[in-house]
Amino acid sequence: MAPHATGSPVMAPSSPPESPITVLASSRAVIGGSLTSATIVISASTGKITSIFHSILPESEFPPGTPYTDYSPHVLLPGLVDAHVHLNEPGRTEWEGFWTGTRAAAFGGVTTVVDMPLNAIPPTTTVAGLKEKVAAAQGKCWVDVGFYGGIIPGNASELRGLVREGVRGFKGFLIESGVDEFPAVSADDIRKAMAELASEPTTLMFHAEMIPPISASVGDDVQASLPPMAPSGPLSHYKTFLDSRPPSFETYAIAEILSLAHLAPELDLHIVHLSAVEAIPMLREARSKGIKVTAETCFHYLALAAESVEEGDTRHKCCPPIREESNRVGLWNELQRKDDSVIKTVVSDHSPCTPNLKLLPQGLPGSVSSADTADTDGDFFAAWGGISSVGLGLSILWTEGQTRGVTVEDVVKWCCKNTAAQVGLQGRKGDLGVGYDGDIAVFDTEGEFVVQHSSMLFRNKCSPYENKTLKGIVKETWVRGKKVFSREDGFVEKTGPKGTLLLEPRKAKAVRKS
């Protein structure tokens, strides 16, 4: 009380204490890989799931004031783990950044992204480079973020240090990457990387394209080649681009990788963004011989086909390329195999750039063409290669799966459970179970939306999915028990981004018994 004051002090009204738990329920939830009714209890202090009931418990079963929502009939999914995203910060933040890229992820129910080691400057090929990237990410991530390291010529001595600093795996290119600071590796570079990583708890991943010694094409260099390797048609025709990167590029590269696998028999190998179905038999044979190799494919290879790409629509350029409809069907058939499919995961490979680098002709959505670029507008060889789709993948996959019998359990297996295991986050991410992070996507399986600028939250709104109607809407996204996004109210701006950086070193795998 103030001096000489009389009477009782006036106390400010106190806010009710924060509930120690949050409860989410639904008549449909994917728990341990199976669809069931569920009530999920999440600790407010740890963000971990503390208990799950395989029925809908009424709100009255919990203490008064407990945050409780029954989302029936929407599905509660584990938050997606997109294990292949290029966030590009620092150095090329105008292409994408942690703030925009992770908001886009949260929009689509992705609660964990793993950032690729290239396109940022510096790339994540040294411990110092990783620390620069981590510093750039601080306070900007709306979802949890992990990091890959890169293998390039001459950095073998950095690899073990990167493992200790917590990278989730390593990626190398067997063909030029498109950026000078991330050159392709030779077989000798791969040998050195395998020697360093042979006993480490990590995954060695490859962009598996390689120009065969005898080829009718030389990749992007075809635009300046003379016969017999000259382009097969105009550079604005998608078929010309497709002809320049045939399936043999992928099969030759994969054969090279498999030929070296014996050097590190316990090291997990992984083929990123598999495009060509011709590579599937050789991967299956390798697995049958005990080689620890898996593959991923991407939403765009499952949703788009070469025959539908219009002249000059460079939004569709990526490497490896989007192939023919028959190839698309083959990828789906392999993905849906009931036995041991070689394709374990589906990811976005979100690889954005500024719209001017796409060289889109005037009139196409996302075009910023000018007199300076008129000579190269629509040139599939000169345009930057990459598909922007982070945060759209769940709806793309669900839309394409409607005629193929795809279930929400399938989606969880391909985009949550298996992607989490690929990057060493099993037991924490990718499932809904006691002890897991409370990462949840509330998914309306019947809703539809048209992809417009408002639903492309990545920095540059240039994507082949623009104006497409997709089925399946993420109503809310929860990260470690906190709601970060809702389709109705947007982002929880008051609390700001609460994503964490996943930098704890991967744990060594249990020794296999013979």
- List the beta strands (DSSP E) in 64-139: 68-70, 75-78, 80-85, 110-115
In CATH, what number is assigned to the domain containing residue 263? Answer: 3.20.20.140
Q: Are strands 440-450 and 343-347 parallel, antiparallel or unpaired?
A: unpaired
Q: pLDDT confidence of 227, banded at 50, 70, 90?
A: low
| 381 inside domain | yes
Task: State the average pLDDT over residues 41-66.
Answer: 97
**pTM score:** 0.92
DSSP string, 355-367: GGGGTPPTTSTT-
The sign of the dihedral angle between the CA atoms of 402, 408, 414, 415 is positive
| 496 inside domain | no
Whether the per-residue pLDDT at 118 is higher than 70: the answer is yes
Tell me, yes or no, whether 190 and 237 share the same domain: yes
- Maximal CA-CA distance, the chain: 101
- Mean residue pLDDT of the chain comes to 92
Tell me, yes or no, whether 250 and 354 share the same domain: yes
pLDDT of residue 2: 36
Cα–Cα distance, 465 to 456 (Å, whole number): 9
pLDDT of residue 4: 34
- pLDDT tens, 456-492? 999 999 999 999 999 999 999 999 999 999 999 999 8
Tell me, yes or no, whether 177 and 322 share the same domain: yes
| 55 inside domain | yes
Tell me, yes or no, whether 63 and 96 share the same domain: no
459 to each of 72, 112, 177, 456, 482, how far by Cα in Å? Answer: 33, 18, 22, 8, 24
> Between these two residues, 508 and 418, which has the higher pLDDT value?
418
Cα–Cα distance, 214 to 216 (Å, whole number): 7
Task: Let me know: does 120 contact 151? Beta carbons within 8 Å.
Answer: no
Q: Is 6 exposed, middle or buried (0-12, 13-18, 19+ CB in 10 A)?
A: exposed
| 451 inside domain | no
| CA neighbor of 32 nearest in space, from 93, 85, 76 | 76
pLDDT of residue 494: 82
Residue pointed to by tokens 């498109």:
178
| 1 inside domain | no
3-state secondary structure of 172: strand
Tell me, yes or no, whether 248 and 383 share the same domain: yes
The residue segments making up the domain with residue 56 are 21-70
Q: Tell me what percent of the residues of the chain surpass a pLDDT of 90.
A: 86
Tell me, yes or no, whether 62 and 123 share the same domain: no
DSSP string, 323-362: --HHHHHHHHHHHT-SS--SEEEEE--B----GGGGTPPT
Tell me, yes or no, whether 58 and 191 share the same domain: no
- At CA 312, angle to CA 368 and CA 206, rounded to 5? 95
pLDDT of residue 471: 98
- Of 35, 70, 105, the one marking the end of a domain is 70
| 173 inside domain | yes
pLDDT of residue 366: 76
Tell me, yes or no, whether 306 and 342 share the same domain: yes
Whether the per-residue pLDDT at 213 is higher than 90: the answer is no
Task: State the average pLDDT over residues 276-280.
Answer: 98
Tell me, yes or no, whether 159 and 66 share the same domain: no
Q: Residue 156: count other Cβ atoms within 10 Å of its Cβ.
A: 18
Tell me, yes or no, whether 57 and 84 share the same domain: no
Task: State the average pLDDT over residues 221-250.
Answer: 82
| CA neighbor of 56 nearest in space, from 23, 20, 79, 34 | 23
Read off the tokens for 118. Answer: 């290239």
| CA neighbor of 384 nearest in space, from 403, 371, 366 | 366
Number of domains the chain is built from: 2
| 2 inside domain | no
Whether the per-residue pLDDT at 513 is higher than 50: the answer is no
Q: What is the CA radius of gyration of the chain?
A: 24
Tell me, yes or no, whether 276 and 299 share the same domain: yes
pLDDT of residue 135: 98
| DSSP character at residue 132 | H
Q: pLDDT confidence of 285, banded at 50, 70, 90?
A: very high
The sign of the dihedral angle between the CA atoms of 92, 93, 97, 101 is negative
The sign of the dihedral angle between the CA atoms of 317, 318, 320, 322 is negative
Tell me, yes or no, whether 42 and 183 share the same domain: no
| 479 inside domain | no
Q: pLDDT confidence of 512, banded at 50, 70, 90?
A: very low
